[in-house]
Homo-oligomer: A and B are copies of this chain.
């Protein structure tokens, strides 16, 4: 469960944000007093923080700086004035995004989602070692054949990008031998099986109907 900390002294706004985020499947916790924020983060380590700039007890800027001394958790700053934003960005507090009131809840949620997604960018847990021709997923070494390794490497070279079968075949062989598209499928099947053994219940290789295969982020 993804946990979001909302630091906001206006109760109605905090409740609204919490509602929307909950309906998106996030777990939320609201703190109204600036003094409590940093200690709570230290103790509970949320996945993202919505931080209001104007707060009783302690200033948002201050809190942000403080949190950054001990954590890289994504922070979204919420400010009341548009003009503030430029100044804030200039200060380089380490916040990940800025939203100014009045904002649309939808926009806020979209940004939160975008930032959280960006977080787990490099295919979590996948390591490719070219010299040793060895691949690891979540620390577990995968027992891949040469072709399977090259296939995985090709897909991993641009995670998320769709590779048509013929493009993959080019990547698979130096020479320009002519092989059927089915070959790709066969190897994908085996690759999937081995990836699945290392991380059950999740298919990292996704087929895009009518196009090709991609590695899921």
Chain A contact residues, CB within 8 Å of chain B? 25, 106-107, 109-111, 113-114, 117, 125, 131-134, 138-140, 145-146, 158, 160-162, 164, 167, 199, 208-211, 214
Are B160 and A132 within 8 A (Cβ)? yes
* Complex CA–CA separation, A31 to B71 (angstroms): 47
Contacts of A134 in B (CB 8 A): 160
Contact partners of A140 in chain B: CB under 8 A? 110, 113
Q: Given known contacts A106-B199, A113-B138, A146-B208, what 17 new A-B pairs fall within 8 Å (CB)? A: A106-B138, A110-B125, A110-B138, A110-B139, A110-B140, A111-B139, A113-B139, A117-B139, A131-B158, A131-B161, A131-B162, A132-B160, A133-B162, A133-B208, A133-B211, A134-B160, A146-B209
The answer, among B132, B145, B146, B167, for a CB contact under 8 Å with A214, is B132
Across-interface contacts of A211 in B (CB, < 8 A) = 133, 146
Q: Which residue of B lies closest to A130 (CB)?
A: B162
- Of chain B, the residue at the smallest CB distance from A145 is B209
Docked Cα-Cα span, A132 to B111, in Å, equals 20
- A123 CB to nearest B CB, Å: 13
